[in-house]
Amino acid sequence: VQLQASGGGLVQAGGSLRLSCAASGRTLSRLDMAWFRQAPGKEREFVAASRRNSGYTYYSDPVKGRFVISRNNAKSTVDLQMNSLKPEDTAVYYCAAASSIITSTIRSSDQYHYWGQGTLVTVSS
């Protein structure tokens, strides 16, 4: 599975950005997909996930209500719509994929086997 993330950039606080992750090498409908982020000097953290079968979505508390993860299986893309951005959202954002994952571990980065290269999001105050 190859993942290609795009859409990062510089935005002012309160603005919006839409990240996109293009997947190839396996049918997207068979993959659990997620977004993680890593801010300078911090560990990588979970942002959002989309289950392959149910379509259920999961969010971390800091982004709940502001970010929306969506998938388009026909286009093999997973997007992350980010609204009301804050300076603390500044990070490199990574998309990740897993063939099979247990719901209780969906927020754990070590459960994902495939990773994109990351795209930088900078939110200015």
| Residues paired with residue 75 on neighbouring β-strands, in sequence order | none
Report the pLDDT averaged over residues 53-78.
95
Per-residue pLDDT at 55 exceeds 90: no
Using pLDDT thresholds of 50, 70 and 90, give the confidence band for residue 7.
very high
The three-state (H, E, C) secondary structure of the chain, written as one string: CEEEEECCEEEECCCCEEEEEEEECCCHHHCEEEEEEECCCCCCEEEEEECCCCCCEEECCCCCCCEEEEEECCCCEEEEEECCCCHHHCEEEEEEEECCCCHHHCCCHHHCCEECCCEEEEEEC
pLDDT (tens digit per residue) in 25-54:
999 999 999 999 999 999 999 999 999 988
